[in-house]
Chains A and B, each alone.
Chain A
Amino acid sequence: MSTPFLSVRDLTVDFHTEDGVVHAVDGLSFDVEKGTTLGIVGESGSGKSVTNLTVLGLHNPETSTISGEIRLDGEELIGASRSTMEKLRGNKVAMIFQDPLTSLSPYHTIGKQISEVYRKHTGASRAEARARAIEMLTRVGIPQPKTRVDDYPHQFSGGMRQRAMIAMALVCDPDLLIADEPTTALDVTVQAQILDLLKDLQDQMGTSIILITHDLGVVANTAHEVLVMYAGRAVERGSVKEVLREPRHPYTWGLLASMPRLSAPVDVQLRPVRGTPPSLINVPTGCPFHPRCDFMEVAGPELCRSERPELSPHRGHGDACYLTLAQKREIHK
């Protein structure tokens, strides 16, 4: 097998706070192939966003400790120089954020915000950059882009802002786009539009996408691969089909059960995962999910409490749980 486009191995991110060390990411590994979409799913605080900000090197080196490796197109990013990272960001790797209103500068026009990325990375002239910004706005479907290029973010609607964000992210034809909950702040109808847009752009430009979401529905429609994260670790990994059809980890089951489905009868009650996400300062020993797990008795409580389950098998559809495959199938019926 060829080297994946993005390869993350044993990534650990610790933050040093006044309350103690926050183990935000703990031994995470995953790959993203060229032109594919990886969906990363998990609750808030599961380490999804932290992981991706790490890829861009956006953590304050003074308050965080990062180890492991992140290889982008064969280039090691951990420990890379500031200028290397600055050249990379917005250029080879771009990112779009959850709330386009707060993520766009209120003080600068949309056009300015798009064109400055382009100028920074390509050295284009002001006029070229402006033309490029208009072109990008056209591509993301902003009507009257020649006019709207001079608008400020607050003059845009929510969906348009996210389109503008995407235009900004894609202006330099990045190889990898990290979309951090790009639709969470948007209307349902708009969500679909934005996701379709991302798909179209991926088809046109061959961009790899990491789509961070807590919504398995979004993943189902958009992603090729899925990574389920819990307490800074991967608990399940596989293709969309595998994970959604045959989920193996009790946490994934929980996520699916808490998700409304159009196919299910209306009166079926949604079952949220019980309990609360664990503290990342005092992560539970063993399987971090064990305090919330309904199947610990089946798997063996001693083991669950004391030893950390590894993701297995290494390739393909894997999960980190002590239940046997048979038990999993039985329970998930």
Chain B
Amino acid sequence: MASRKDDTPREATAKGPSGPRSGPSHLGKQAMLPFITRRTLGAAVTLLIIAAVTFFLFFAVPADPARLACGKVCPPDLLEQARHNLGLDQPLFAQFVAWLAGIFVGRDYESLGHCPAPCLGYSFVNREPVFETILDRLPVTVSLTIGAAVVFLVFGLATGIVAALRQGKPLDKIASVASLIGASVQIYFIGTLALYFLVYQNQILQRPQYLPFTENPIAWASGLALPWVVLAIIFTANYTRMTRSTMVEQLSEDYVRTARAKGMSGRSVVMRFALRGTLTPIITIFGVDLGTLIGGAIITETTFGLQGLGRLSIKAVWDSDLPLLMGTVLVAAGAIVFFNIVVDVLYAFIDPRVRLS
């Protein structure tokens, strides 16, 4: 308690912007802008390092993409030609610089012409522009992720809250057991089972497919319903446990007791007071999960035959397709870094103490 003996009036120093309508967002913006700028710069450096490491690691492995781009019968002159066509005859560093420059100013290719910025190059295998390929796949992965995230976040929070409010009751125990089971199963296991029984054998659900949201939202949702549910089964567990334990902690917080002592209704105490504090750790894992999922739900996409970033990255690895590999790694890393920043910004919105310190 001794540490709280600070009664020096702070009016002089801590004068926030005044006015009746100065809400949190207004307060936030002032500190937020330099924060976001700083974090974005940091992210750019991180991504550059990741790109460089990926690039040079690629060449550390003896698999030769030129050989794959050269037929079954591949004499040395043909191999040399293939190497030249892919730009692999340039010095490594020059290749990397060219790749990097392409992102900002575009690139010109001998055979394929100009690739406008942001240019991530052309696939070694099918000579498609990598940037466009990724743009084409991104909506699939994003839809998969967002839909699943909504489901597992809502269910995770709901079951976690209920479990916390019914500590030790059957409902709490069921939630604990269910979350344990959920956490221990694998997507390719329940995904395949679900496909087999719900789709192929009984046609209860539609075969997973991606249809653009903009064309038909209902078809979009029903096409992705199964993967969402399966992903949710696996992810919800973590959120249930986390919500439950944090909620239990929050419910014993002094300010929650104060709220009740003020005559706030039980519901408002839970939703407005206790939940607020519970959100912080939830947002943290949510950010990580979102980043990881966008970066590539490899197993999910493979299991359900969806053409997203995850499968694209697997293909890139299998085919030693360097430009595609660099592109998918960049997007995956970018997603993780981006959601980290978003989480930090969200912290500030949830907790004014973070915002102003």
Chain B residues within 8 Å of A159, by CB: 7
Nearest A residue to B18 via CB reads A147
- A152 adjacent to B260 (CB under 8 Å): no
Nearest A residue to B264 via CB reads A120
Nearest B residue to A52 via CB reads B261
B72 sits at the interface (CB 8 A): no
Nearest A residue to B277 via CB reads A107
- B353 adjacent to A58 (CB under 8 Å): no
B257 sits at the interface (CB 8 A): yes
- B266 adjacent to A82 (CB under 8 Å): yes
B213 sits at the interface (CB 8 A): no
B254 touches which of A103, A148, A154 (Cβ 8 Å): A103
- A104 adjacent to B14 (CB under 8 Å): no
Chain A residues within 8 Å of B1, by CB: 99, 184-185
Interface size class, chain B: 35 or more
A248 sits at the interface (CB 8 A): no
B8 sits at the interface (CB 8 A): yes
B22 sits at the interface (CB 8 A): yes
Least Cβ–Cβ distance between B43 and chain A, in angstroms: 28
B263 sits at the interface (CB 8 A): yes
Chain B residues within 8 Å of A91, by CB: 263
- B261 adjacent to A190 (CB under 8 Å): no
Chain B residues within 8 Å of A104, by CB: 255, 258
Within 8 A of A (CB), among B1-57: 1, 4-11, 14-16, 18-20, 22
Q: How many residues of A contact B (CB 8 A)?
A: 47
Chain B residues within 8 Å of A116, by CB: 262, 264
Chain B residues within 8 Å of A87, by CB: 263
- A107 adjacent to B263 (CB under 8 Å): no
A185 and B4 in contact (CB under 8 A), knowing A105-B255, A107-B351?
yes
Complex alpha-carbon distance, A277 and B329, angstroms: 63
A121 sits at the interface (CB 8 A): yes
A89 touches which of B6, B7, B18, B261 (Cβ 8 Å): B261
A155 touches which of B257, B264, B265, B356 (Cβ 8 Å): B356
Most buried by B among A91, A94, A154: A154
B79 sits at the interface (CB 8 A): no
Within 8 A of B (CB), among A128-146: 130, 143-144, 146
Chain B residues within 8 Å of A156, by CB: 10
A168 sits at the interface (CB 8 A): yes
Nearest A residue to B8 via CB reads A157
A130 and B263 in contact (CB under 8 A), knowing A105-B255, A147-B15, A158-B5?
no
Complex alpha-carbon distance, A165 and B18, angstroms: 21
B345 sits at the interface (CB 8 A): no
Chain B residues within 8 Å of A89, by CB: 260-263
- A150 adjacent to B254 (CB under 8 Å): no
A90 touches which of B7, B261, B276, B352 (Cβ 8 Å): B261
A158 and B261 in contact (CB under 8 A), knowing A102-B255, A106-B255, A130-B20?
no
Complex alpha-carbon distance, A186 and B258, angstroms: 18
Chain A residues within 8 Å of B277, by CB: 106-107
- A102 adjacent to B254 (CB under 8 Å): yes
Least Cβ–Cβ distance between B15 and chain A, in angstroms: 7
Least Cβ–Cβ distance between B354 and chain A, in angstroms: 10
Most buried by A among B15, B257, B263: B263
Within 8 A of B (CB), among A82-134: 82, 86-91, 94-95, 97, 99, 101-107, 116-117, 120-121, 130
Nearest B residue to A57 via CB reads B260
Nearest B residue to A178 via CB reads B261
Nearest B residue to A149 via CB reads B20
Chain A residues within 8 Å of B19, by CB: 150
A11 sits at the interface (CB 8 A): no
Nearest A residue to B256 via CB reads A105
Nearest B residue to A104 via CB reads B255
Complex alpha-carbon distance, A187 and B353, angstroms: 23
Complex alpha-carbon distance, A215 and B353, angstroms: 33
Nearest B residue to A155 via CB reads B14
A106 and B353 in contact (CB under 8 A), knowing A89-B260, A130-B20, A143-B9?
yes
Complex alpha-carbon distance, A152 and B351, angstroms: 10
Within 8 A of A (CB), among B257-303: 257-266, 273, 276-277
Complex alpha-carbon distance, A103 and B5, angstroms: 16
Nearest B residue to A147 via CB reads B18
Least Cβ–Cβ distance between B170 and chain A, in angstroms: 14
Complex alpha-carbon distance, A150 and B265, angstroms: 24
B350 sits at the interface (CB 8 A): yes
Complex alpha-carbon distance, A293 and B198, angstroms: 75
B253 sits at the interface (CB 8 A): yes
A58 and B260 in contact (CB under 8 A), knowing A106-B353, A150-B22, A160-B9?
yes
Chain A residues within 8 Å of B22, by CB: 150
Complex alpha-carbon distance, A184 and B5, angstroms: 10
Within 8 A of A (CB), among B219-263: 253-255, 257-263
A242 sits at the interface (CB 8 A): no
- B10 adjacent to A105 (CB under 8 Å): no
B263 touches which of A90, A105, A155 (Cβ 8 Å): A90
Least Cβ–Cβ distance between A13 and chain B, in angstroms: 16
Chain B residues within 8 Å of A186, by CB: 4-5, 7
Chain A: residues with CB nearer than 8 A to chain B? 56, 58, 82, 86-91, 94-95, 97, 99, 101-107, 116-117, 120-121, 130, 143-144, 146-148, 150-152, 154-160, 168, 184-187, 189-190
Known: A105-B258, A120-B264. 12 other contacts (CB 8 A): A95-B261, A99-B4, A103-B254, A103-B258, A105-B276, A107-B277, A130-B20, A150-B20, A155-B16, A160-B9, A168-B262, A189-B7
- List 24 A-B pairs, Cβ < 8 Å: A87-B263, A88-B263, A89-B262, A89-B263, A97-B257, A97-B261, A102-B254, A103-B255, A105-B259, A106-B255, A106-B353, A107-B273, A107-B277, A107-B350, A107-B351, A116-B264, A117-B262, A152-B352, A152-B353, A157-B9, A158-B5, A185-B1, A187-B5, A190-B7
Task: In the A-B complex, list the 7 residue pairs whose CB atoms are closest, starting with the nearest.
Answer: A89-B263, A90-B263, A90-B262, A102-B254, A159-B7, A103-B254, A105-B255
